Amino acid sequence: MIKRAELPHIYECFLQSSEVCTDTRKLTEGCFFVALKGDNFDGNTFAVSALEAGAAFVLMDDAKLYAEISSNPYFERLLLVKDTLKSLQDLATYHREKLDLPILALTGSNGKTTTKELLHATLSQKFNCLATIGNLNNHIGVPLTLLRMTQNTELGIVEMGANHQGEIAFLCKIAKPNYGYITNFGKAHLEGFGGVEGVIKGKSELIDYLNQTNGRMFVQSTDHEQIQRTKDMPCTVLNVNQHWAIYSEHSATQAHSQSTASQDTLALSGTLGAIHTQLIGNYNTPNVIAAVEIAQYFDVSWEKIKSALEQYTPRMNRSQGMKRGSYNLIMDAYNANPSSMQLALDHFAQTGGSGSKAVILGDMFELGQEAALEHQTIVNQAELLDFDEIYLAGVNFSQTKFNPAKTTCFKDYNSLEQYLLSHPPKHTSILVKGSRGMALERLLNTVFTE
């Protein structure tokens, strides 16, 4: 009978490894390779080649293949388990419990990754702080984040994403957070959650977990739903005593850059002074306030908070201003849902730099039965805001009613790209926004080159 590896032994092997890897294309010397299964691949088939490429150990769950390679010289470094994904998650929880460090979990419909980056910037001023990389925020990404933490880590920030109910609760059981923050409840992943009420219930699973474990929530004073849901548990209410005032300032310094567009950036004035960020859009106000006041809760000084936030530069196509030739672009193509799309359009209409304005919008995904209504609402809003030109791309936008005098629609990305290559936009300022699946940032390599 084949003997499967037990968690304590797996953990010992993990501690002897340099890092965890789930992709043979990114293997590093001495790593701990976890052979996961996907729709189009089976990591077990790469077990031996991973060891030959330098992996210290391989976690696998194909018992038949394990038996077949028992004579291989690398066999002793193969760890057989019943389910590699579950073992990865169990290993992450085991490691998290061994480290016993404070963990702040955050989720929400909009702004969670930006807020996570801002929190990492401010909290790193005092702590050896480790945060989720990019948006590795699901049932695989959260364990990988936890397993990057070491004895030197003093505070962890774990982003949690979800597209159906029960997922946040599951991630909380893995990460066991001590603190939580929900950016907002918005119209995201409506198909999986079953509507806005489902979104609220799903995201509130973080509140439920912390309430059961005597953890602490951070809540914006303006979010009455969260205030009500956290009234009987430890809670710190943000945006109460700082008396924040919002204003935009023209970023003259950035205007001289060849890679950054001249845009109106967000500035906030509070009780202790002003913060001049490099963020675009007043919709980032609660994200900045959260980064300030949560850091203050952890006794980070105002001077360090201010410095960290003023030096932070948006990345990964999240409301990222950039200069490309004669164009001032706001590249907000990382993701989109009805809530974030409406905020981006409103802000761009009010600011967005000088000169004529155009918007390039890609489909919003995972809206289920609400897709037709929500896409039509966005088209109506964009046309009412009176942009000089509106470009739409995707199956959902193609099914909307629009004014052809100002709006041009394409069934897919390729059609949009080809049109823009032969008909370059004549407009000075352009907002580009769409869901991740549309990958509109590809326009930077074709239409909007340096």
| pLDDT 10s digits, 411-443 | 999 999 999 999 998 877 899 999 989 999 999
pLDDT at 260: 42
Instruction: Tell me: do 355 and 392 sit in the same domain.
Output: yes
CATH code for the domain in which residue 208 is found: 3.40.1190.10
Instruction: Tell me: do 138 and 286 sit in the same domain.
Output: yes
Instruction: Tell me: do 374 and 226 sit in the same domain.
Output: no
pLDDT at 247: 73
Which one-letter amino acid corresponds to residue 110? N
Q: Would you say residue 357 lies in a domain? A: yes
Instruction: Tell me: do 364 and 435 sit in the same domain.
Output: yes
Instruction: Tell me: do 123 and 60 sit in the same domain.
Output: no
CATH code for the domain in which residue 409 is found: 3.90.190.20
Instruction: Tell me: do 75 and 142 sit in the same domain.
Output: no
Find out whether 213 and 196 touch, Cβ atoms under 8 Å.
no
Instruction: Tell me: do 61 and 119 sit in the same domain.
Output: no
In sequence order, what are the residues at sequence separation of 6 or more whose Cβ sits closer than 8 angstroms to the Cβ of residue 88? 20, 22, 34, 36, 59, 140, 143, 144
User: What's the total number of domains in the chain?
Assistant: 3
Q: Would you say residue 201 lies in a domain? A: yes
Q: Would you say residue 175 lies in a domain? A: yes
Find out whether 392 and 363 touch, Cβ atoms under 8 Å.
no
Q: Would you say residue 260 lies in a domain? A: no
More confident residue, 153 or 68: 153
Beta bridge partners of 329: 322, 430
Q: Would you say residue 365 lies in a domain? A: yes
Pairing of strands 327-332, 320-324: antiparallel
Instruction: Tell me: do 60 and 147 sit in the same domain.
Output: no
Instruction: Tell me: do 144 and 289 sit in the same domain.
Output: yes
Q: Would you say residue 155 lies in a domain? A: yes
Percent of the chain with pLDDT over 70: 93
Q: Would you say residue 253 lies in a domain? A: no
More confident residue, 306 or 254: 306
What's 349's DSSP letter? H
| pLDDT 10s digits, 329-377 | 988 888 888 988 998 898 888 875 556 899 999 999 988 888 999 999 9
pLDDT at 50: 94
Instruction: Tell me: do 212 and 349 sit in the same domain.
Output: no
CATH code for the domain in which residue 27 is found: 3.40.1390.10
pLDDT at 188: 65
Report the candidate in 343, 69, 312, 367 with the shortest Cα–Cα distance to residue 192. 367
Q: In the listed set 33, 52, 83, which residue is the last one of a domain according to the structure?
A: 83
Instruction: Tell me: do 413 and 440 sit in the same domain.
Output: yes
Instruction: Tell me: do 349 and 402 sit in the same domain.
Output: yes
Q: Would you say residue 312 lies in a domain? A: no
Q: In the listed set 33, 55, 83, which residue is the last one of a domain according to the structure?
A: 83
CA distance 443 to 338: 22
Find out whether 373 and 405 touch, Cβ atoms under 8 Å.
no
pLDDT at 322: 86
Q: Which domain holds residue 59?
A: 7-83
